[in-house]
Amino acid sequence: HVQLVESGGDSVQPGGSLTLSCVNSGDTFPSHCMGWFRQRPGQPREGVASIDSLGVPKYRDYVKDRFTISRDNTANTLSFQMNNLRAEDSAEYFCAVYTRSRPCQRSTLVVGWWDTWGQGTQVTVS
């Protein structure tokens, strides 16, 4: 059973940067699609970025030029470099993995597609 552990959330000023990490405990990490999601208070969870097993990323338009998703298959780690942070980026950030089929060669930002989630890490920009 795959477990995900996020880290790196913090409080930063507008214009600042953060790097989130998500460690995947499974031994089939390289074949999985992985994604980053966020949830603001009172709002539904939304997909922000995802990456397939081939390393092809997908981004929501509002983060495309500021955030970078990447994966280190040797360390079973998904990373999320967030630059030029804005107040509206404040949220709980979650990573997720799609384990139902492998290799995963096409990811999606649709929340309901993903099957395993981490516990979240808080990002506050103010």
pLDDT tens digits for range 59-88: 999 999 999 999 999 999 999 999 999 999
What 8-state DSSP symbol labels residue 15?
T
Predicted pLDDT of residue 26: 86
- Classify residue 88 by its DSSP letter: G
- DSSP label of 37: E
- Cα dihedral 105, 85, 81, 121, rounded to 10, equals -80
Residue 50, sorted as left (phi over 0), alpha (psi -120 to 50) or beta, turns out to be beta
pLDDT at residue 38, rounded to an integer: 98
Task: Please name the residue ranges forming H helices in the chain.
Answer: none
Decide if pLDDT at 113 tops 90: yes
Question: What is the mean pLDDT of the segment spanning 35-57?
Answer: 97
Q: Is the pLDDT of residue 105 over 90?
A: yes
Tell me if 94 sits within 8 A of 117, measured CB to CB: yes
In the predicted model, is pLDDT for residue 45 greater than 90?
A: yes
Q: How many CB atoms lie within 10 A of CB 51?
A: 23
Average pLDDT over residues 36-47: 97
Read off the tokens for 29. Answer: 């990490």
Tell me: cis bond preceding 103? Omega within 30 of 0 counts: yes
